Amino acid sequence: NAGVTQTPKFRILKIGQSMTLQCTQDMNHNYMYWYRQDPGMGLKLIYYSVGAGITDKGEVPNGYNVSRSTTEDFPLRLELAAPSQTSVYFCATTTSGGLGLKQETQYFGPGTRLLVL
């Protein structure tokens, strides 16, 4: 049981290039999230998904796109990289297990460090 895995661990991009950050989970969780963390700041939500085929914007979605074709995978796409997208990107998952509105904790991947020059 690997939990949440992210690739790559580190990447340098030139301005205007594109790339996809990969996130895979093996916990069969229905909810998945992408956050970014800038130095000295807390995490901010980029996009999230409540299940395969369903995605929605978070607080800072501009410049990013996502898709969720399977329960396991939730890739984040940067189409035209900009210096403002230099950050550490974390993928997280949770499940709505339990009775009523009881929620589970969020499990985080190890992160992808992205530098845009």
Partner 1 sequence: KQEVTQIPAALSVPEGENLVLNCSFTDSAIYNLQWFRQDPGKGLTSLLLIQSSQREQTSGRLNASLDKSSGRSTLYIAASQPGDSATYLCAVSGSNYKLTFGKGTLLTVNP
The span from the CA of 114 to the CA of 10, in Å, is 6
CA-nearest of 92, 79, 108 to 47 is 92
Least distance from C-beta 26 to partner 1, angstroms?
A: 16
Least distance from C-beta 16 to partner 1, angstroms?
A: 28
17/95 with CB nearer partner 1: 95
The span from the CA of 14 to the CA of 1, in Å, is 35
Least distance from C-beta 94 to partner 1, angstroms?
A: 5
14/28 with CB nearer partner 1: 28
Which residues contribute to the site for partner 1 (CB under 8 A)?
31, 33, 35, 40-45, 48, 50, 56, 58, 90, 92, 94, 96, 101-111
Residue type, 114: L
69/103 with CB nearer partner 1: 103
Spacing of C-alpha 10 from chain mean position: 15
58/63 with CB nearer partner 1: 58
